A and B are shown apart, each in its own frame.
Chain A
């Protein structure tokens, strides 16, 4: 049971470079999410996709773009990486129901360093 798979696991970029983080889930969930996690800040939502074909901004969307390629895949793109985007990025999926009574399933993260 793969669950949520994120690639790559680690990446080092130079300022100004671009990169796409990949995420795929095999649980047939409608909703997918991208978070970043920084020390002392907790999980912060970057973008989410409530269903295939829709995407919405979360708390910290600036500097990022997303694509919901199909029901399984949701990618996060950094067009011009900045040192402030050094973080651990988590992808998650869930089957949304009213009021949030379904858990989210997370991948193991991509550790991204911007030099």
Chain B
């Protein structure tokens, strides 16, 4: 069964607004969540990692939250720009696994229009 769910396949927003992407996990309890960016014709690129005991993590215009009660992570891009247009993937591993194996969501395609 799918462990990581990104319910929105596409999100379109205007430049300057904040984009918010959602990632939900089911049937397990990851210790970490990771977010990746994927541009057309390229492989995913790691952006941010958040631990379960971190409520929020920031990197420049990016912010990630981790709510273990809701089993959800939110990924925010503030002051969005057309260059932020890409597909964003959420991923997590089984707690305690040492194999490094990740389960990926299907991704949300973000389009930022001028």
Contacts and interface: CB of A to CB of B under 8 A. Distances in A.
Interface of A: 4, 30-31, 33, 40-43, 45, 48, 50, 56, 58, 90, 92, 94-109
B49 interface: yes
10 contacts: A45-B101, A92-B43, A94-B100, A96-B100, A99-B30, A99-B93, A99-B96, A100-B30, A106-B44, A109-B41
Interface residues of B, number: 31
Query: For chain B, what secondary structure do more than half of its interface residues adopt (helix, strand, loop), or is it mixed?
Result: loop
Contacts of B106: 40-42
Contacts of A97: 98, 100
Nearest to A100: B93
Query: For chain A, what secondary structure do more than half of its interface residues adopt (helix, strand, loop), or is it mixed?
Result: loop
Contacts of A50: 98-100
B89 A42 contact: yes
A30 B42 CA distance: 23
A87 B51 CA distance: 33
